[in-house]
Every structure is written in C-alpha cells, then in structure tokens.
C-alpha cells in the first residue's frame, strides 16, 4: 500500500456507475473524517505520479470533500486496456449495493461490444447469461420506460420485459403508463399485453361474466353494481351486456376498482340513463 496525492488520481473513463448519491457521499465523508480510510482505493499507474481509479471512486470523492491531499492506495503497475478497465470497474461495482440496473445494462452492452458476446460477458463478470441479456433488453425501450424500470415503478421481471418488448411502441407506452399509475403486478401486465397482441391483433377476454357478479368476485369488477347498485335491473339486457363487454375491453380492467374507475365516462353514462 502507498500514499498518493489525491489530485494525481483521475476517474476511470469506463466507470459503469453513472450516479453517486450526494447524501450517501456526505455520510461517507463524515465517517472517513471520524475513523479514517479503512479500505484503500485501488488505482492503475498510467504515468509518472499519475493514476487512474479502478475501485474506490466514492472514497476518493469523499477525500476531496474533506480537503485531503493524500490518500492510501493499492497501486497496480501492469496497466490495462479499455476492456480490462471496464471489467475491473464492473466487478468492483457489482459486488456493492447501489449500482442501478440501467448502469449494469449499459456496462454489459459496452463490454459485449468489446468481447463479442453476452456469453463471454457472463463468464468474465460471473453472472448468468440470462442476467446479461435481461439487462441489455432494457436499452431497447425508450428513455421513459427505462427510467420506470430503473426506479422499480415497473416490475423488473424477465417475462414483463419480454412481453413489453414485443408490443408496438404506442401500445407498449400505454401499457407502461397504466402499470405505473396503478402499480400493477407482473401478472396484470402480462394479461394486458396478451389482450393487445394475440396473433398480431387485439384480443379481448371472450368469457362472459354473470350480471349478478359482485365487485371483486374472483378478482373481477362489475361496473353495473358500481354505477347502479340498486337500479341496474332497470336497464335492458342489451345495455347491460354492452356495458359489461365495454368494461372488460378496457386496458384498466385488470386493475379496476371503485377508486380507479370513479372518473370513467362509462360510469357517468350508466348513472344517467
């Protein structure tokens, strides 16, 4: 271990972690100010008294916040190519908490461009091939959907990712918006995707519902009992059938509830007739 000048250290350009939480960094700085640096940073020597970070960016940045001029470091003298720099940074970060799934996805994608295949990436990093491709699949979505997955507002599930990926862009965004708004579970999202795309055409649940079905019976919602709890019998059979079929075709049907459906135009219409 050696002591090196903080200002002689530069950030690894292949660092996969894109965000460092400021509150977390300030907490680390307070800890280092109180207890010192428990784990030295690791750097590559890239010139005379010049070093590049391999592991320990948060510790290095905390040292800067504290105004330290020197920091303990493990120095590697063999140098590295770009792909090795990326691998070093990835391995160090994956072993820690806090690396986002989008950061992982971008890192896997970049490393795959260097080594040639997802299988090779999995071998180098020590994860499954499925993990590599599940992360990379996120990059095929638009930025908003990527962000929702990253924030866990959309469930990070391989089956959900696959189902959304197979939808046309407009329908994909509609399903994602509904899922985020109503905090849908994977099963609900998959059912919604299946309704939209079956053999390339919209598909709706053809199973008829009983007109006497109560709210939430078997997990289903009855718009007639909600809109006209005491007078639904005043409606003709044709109107009741049409209302139930319209309700079941709605993309929100799997998440239907009095709270979610109170602003529905169909509910207002049924109340008035």
Last residue of a domain, one of 196, 228, 262: 196
Name the one residue in this structure whose structure tokens are 């998440």: 255
Cα(119)–Cα(53) distance, rounded to whole angstroms?
A: 27
Closest CA to 183 of 148, 150, 215, 218: 148
In a domain, 222, yes or no: yes
Residues 227 and 186 in one domain: no
pLDDT at 214: 35
Supply the range of the domain harboring residue 16.
Answer: 2-80
Q: If you average pLDDT over residues 151-156, what whole number do you get?
A: 91
226 burial level (CB within 10 Å; 0-12, 13-18, 19+): buried
54-68, 94-108, 129-143, 155-169: lowest mean pLDDT where?
Answer: 94-108
In a domain, 168, yes or no: yes
Total Cβ atoms within 10 A of residue 260? 14
Residues 227 and 157 in one domain: no
In a domain, 132, yes or no: no
- Using the 8-state DSSP alphabet, how is residue 213 labeled? P
Closest CA to 42 of 63, 65, 59, 61: 59
Rounded (10°) angle between helices 143-150 and 101-115 = 120
In a domain, 91, yes or no: no
Q: Mind listing the pLDDT tens digit for each residue in 181-227? A: 888 889 989 988 888 877 554 433 444 444 333 344 445 677 888 88
In a domain, 111, yes or no: no
Cα(4)–Cα(7) distance, rounded to whole angstroms?
A: 9
Q: Mind listing the pLDDT tens digit for each residue in 28-76? A: 889 899 889 988 988 888 888 899 888 888 899 999 999 999 999 988 7
* Highest mean pLDDT (candidates 37-41, 108-112, 249-253): 37-41
Residue 45 sits in a domain of what CATH number?
Answer: 3.90.1530.10
Last residue of a domain, one of 60, 80, 100: 80
Total Cβ atoms within 10 A of residue 225? 16
Cα(198)–Cα(203) distance, rounded to whole angstroms?
A: 6
Cα(228)–Cα(208) distance, rounded to whole angstroms?
A: 20
14-28, 40-54, 129-143: lowest mean pLDDT where?
Answer: 14-28
Last residue of a domain, one of 80, 110, 132: 80
With a threshold of 0.95, does the pTM exceed it? no
In a domain, 45, yes or no: yes
Domain count, the chain: 3
Residues 26 and 60 in one domain: yes
Residues 243 and 190 in one domain: no
pLDDT at 84: 64
pLDDT band at 263 (very low <50, low <70, confident <90, very high): confident
In a domain, 101, yes or no: no
Residue 115 has pLDDT above 60, yes or no: yes
Residues 186 and 245 in one domain: no
Q: If you average pLDDT over residues 166-181, what whole number do you get?
A: 86
């Amino acid at each position: 271990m050696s002591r090196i000048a903080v200002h002689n250290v530069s950030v690894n350009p292949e660092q996969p972690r894109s965000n460092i939480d400021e509150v977390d960094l300030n907490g680390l700085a307070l800890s280092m100010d109180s207890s010192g640096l428990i784990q030295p940073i690791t750097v590559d020597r890239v010139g005379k008294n010049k070093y590049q970070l391999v592991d320990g960016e948060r510790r290095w940045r905390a040292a800067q916040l504290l105004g330290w001029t020197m920091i303990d470091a493990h120095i590697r003298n063999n140098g590295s190519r770009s792909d090795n720099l990326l691998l070093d940074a990835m391995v160090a970060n994956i072993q820690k908490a806090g690396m986002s799934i989008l950061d992982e996805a971008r890192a896997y994608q970049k490393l795959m461009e260097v080594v040639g295949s997802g299988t090779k990436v999995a071998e180098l990093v020590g994860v499954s091939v499925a993990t590599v491709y599940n992360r990379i699949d996120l990059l095929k979505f638009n930025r908003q959907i990527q962000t929702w997955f990253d924030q866990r507002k959309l469930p990070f599930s391989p089956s959900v990712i696959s189902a959304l990926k197979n939808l046309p862009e407009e329908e994909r965004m509609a399903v994602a918006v509904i899922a985020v708004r109503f905090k849908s579970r994977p099963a609900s999202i998959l059912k919604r995707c299946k309704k939209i795309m079956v053999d390339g055409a919209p598909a709706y649940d053809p199973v008829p519902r009983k007109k006497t079905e109560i709210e939430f019976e078997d997990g289903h919602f009855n718009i007639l009992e909600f809109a006209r709890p005491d007078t639904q019998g005043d409606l003709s059979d044709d109107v009741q059938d049409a209302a139930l079929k319209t309700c079941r075709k709605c993309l929100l049907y799997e998440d239907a509830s009095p709270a979610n459906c109170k602003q529905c135009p169909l509910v207002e219409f049924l109340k008035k007739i």
